[in-house]
Amino acid sequence: MSRPHPSKLSFGNIVGYGAGDFGFNLSFTFCSLFLLYFYTDVLELNASTAGLIIMVALVWEGISDPIIGLITNRTNTRWGRYRPYILFGSVPLGLSVVAMFLPLDLPAGALVAYCFATHIVYRTVFTFVNIPYIALSAQMTQDSDTRGQLAAARMLFAIACGLLLSALTLPVSKALGGGRTGFFLISVVYSLVATVILLLTFASTKEVIDESRQEHPDLRSMLSTLRANRPFILLFVATALGATGYTMSGKALIYYLKYWVGSESMVTTGLVVTLGAAALAMIPWMMIARRVSKRVVWLAGVSLNVLAYVVILAVAPRGGPVLWLVLIAVGIGNSAFILNVWSMLPDTVEYGEWKTGTRAEGASFGLMAFSQKVALGIGTGLVGILLDSIGYVANRPQSAETLQGITLLYGAGPLVLFAASLVAIWAYPLDGKTHRRLVRAIEYRRVRARRRAVALNAAKAGAS
């Protein structure tokens, strides 16, 4: 039996779904911004070791993402396909975050092993809860503009969380005792808040898309669907490249501000300015996407990023208007990138269903998350390894060669990677008009399939 699925969602549905990303980013962005710093400058692990711990854990998470996507694609409960994972996974997720920051007095080798083990546990639990959450948007509506609103709500909450974490983490952890104790206590606070928010997200969302029970496609059919899905492949490649550049930029910025600019307090200010610009740009980017296309917004935003990194390489500002303008430009460009990844992805799900007859959003979202996580891991690992290679020593004055290396790390890597993502997304073929035609064609197929099923059942009943 088909369930009706309204194309529009209530304000409460959109906010409730978007708020979930605030909850997830209380751990994800916390780790993205500060875990490498925590390992190198608080625990004083070797930078290469710290980078490799994060890289291996993120690659593991990336590998597990499509596996979880396949599992969730076959889940069927009274709460829906994806929502149960949010309900039952929120508490274990919070506990796994706190475990990473326990202030244990361990010898060097045991400390490295503990950091690695707890980070692997966190990434595994995070995948079990986050992949169903991001796939949920494809089950809430088929309207492309409404999905854009869901993606924008997610990104607004994510950026708001990033702003909060950027502004509060270092000052508050210092006020709570600093060092290991400060980071542990703030991780407890963040985890408690995240758990409550994720439970509210579960309560305020619904899965309404009916797939005419053609469900549980096997692995081969889902992979065949993705291979035939050119928009998905292009988005996958562009996301992997852009996410690696985004990661290297975010990690290197902390070291650029602390050592090149020469002020640890500037780390908080710089992160707030960058994320603040991203937050302010989100709604304008969404409006431009609705008037023009999501592809155009991607191209414009990432071009702005490329320009900003050219200025970093050419000028390497230590302060003043040039530095602030560069950070604002990076934030605005990042906003376009992160908005469109999750706004464009559900549209590729319909393209794949239209082309092959198989709907595989679980696998699509899982593979896209795999792309991002591996990119995050590679980006973080590269920063750690390159910091070692340029002679970086934590909490010490750096040599002129090391400072020059930090500048290149912040500018050159992101520049090349974002430029490559531009090339990949240039060929992306979907726009709003094309997507609406695809959705109408899919719905027409479903109506015909239901009518054939009714006629067949009636014929069988008559024969008996």
pLDDT of 3 higher than 50 = no
Residue 209 or 381, more confident: 381
Stretch (H or E) spanning 72 = helix 47-73
CA nearest neighbour of 27 among 97, 106, 76:
97
Report the pLDDT averaged over residues 5-34. Answer: 85
The 3-state DSSP class for residue 77 equals strand
Confidence check: pLDDT of 168 > 80: yes
In DSSP terms, 77 is beta-bridged to 80
Percent of the chain with pLDDT strictly greater than 90: 40
Please state, in angstroms and as integers, the Cα–Cα distance from residue 74 to each residue in 80, 182, 264, 369, following that order. 11, 42, 48, 18
Distance CA 176, CA 446 (A): 58
Give me the chain's average pLDDT, please: 85
Weakest-pLDDT range from 75-79, 254-258, 333-337 = 75-79
Cα–Cα distance list, 271 to 261, 266, 428, 449 (Å)? 14, 8, 31, 53
Which domains does the chain show, CATH number per domain?
Answer: 20-207+217-451 (1.20.1250.20)
d(Cα 175, Cα 165) in Å, to the nearest integer? 15
Categorize the per-residue pLDDT at 463 as very low, low, confident or very high, splitting at 50, 70 and 90: low
Distance separating the N- and C-terminal Cα atoms of the chain? 23
H helix runs in 74-218, sequence order: 83-100, 108-140, 144-175, 179-203
- Within 10 Å of residue 349's Cβ, how many Cβ atoms? 25
DSSP 258: I
* 206 has pLDDT over 80: yes
pLDDT of residue 219: 58
217-266 residue pLDDT tens: 555 666 666 777 888 889 999 999 999 999 999 889 989 999 999 888 88
- As a whole number of angstroms, the distance between CA 75 and CA 60 comes to 23
**CA-wise closest residue to 277 among 380, 162, 168:** 162
Structure tokens at 19: 């708020």
pLDDT of residue 214: 46
pLDDT at 1 over 80: no
User: Cα-flanking dihedrals φ and ψ of residue 21, to 5°?
Assistant: -70, -25
Query: What is the per-residue pLDDT for 209?
Result: 64
Question: What local confidence, expressed as pLDDT, does residue 216 receive?
Answer: 53
Taking the C-alpha atoms of residue 50 and residue 116, their distance in angstroms, rounded to an integer, is 9
pLDDT tens-digit profile of 42-51? 998 988 999 8
Least confident range of 34-48, 60-74, 421-435: 60-74
pLDDT tier, 446 (very low <50, low <70, confident <90, very high otherwise): confident
Q: Which residue has the higher pLDDT, 45 or 435?
A: 45
Between 431 and 183, residue with greater pLDDT: 183
Q: Give the CB-side neighbour count of residue 241, counting CA atoms within 13 A.
A: 19
CB atoms < 10 A from the CB of 113, how many?
13
Return d(Cα 330, Cα 114) in angstroms, integer.
35
Question: What local confidence, expressed as pLDDT, does residue 2 receive?
Answer: 42
Cβ–Cβ under 8 Å, residues 182 and 176: yes
Average pLDDT for 84-110: 92
Integer Cα distance of 397 and 403 in angstroms: 10
Contact 51, 405 (CB under 8 A): no
**Of 102-106, 230-234, 317-321, 459-463, the least confident:** 459-463
What's the pLDDT score for residue 332? 95
| Helix or strand (DSSP H, E) at 394 | none
Percent of the chain predicted with pLDDT > 70: 92
pLDDT for the residue 225:
66
* 16 or 211, greater pLDDT: 16
pTM as predicted: 0.74
Question: Would you state the pLDDT for residue 331?
Answer: 94
Looking at the predicted structure, is the pLDDT value of residue 39 above 50?
yes
Query: Is pLDDT above 90 for 198?
Result: yes
Tokens of 29: 């962005």
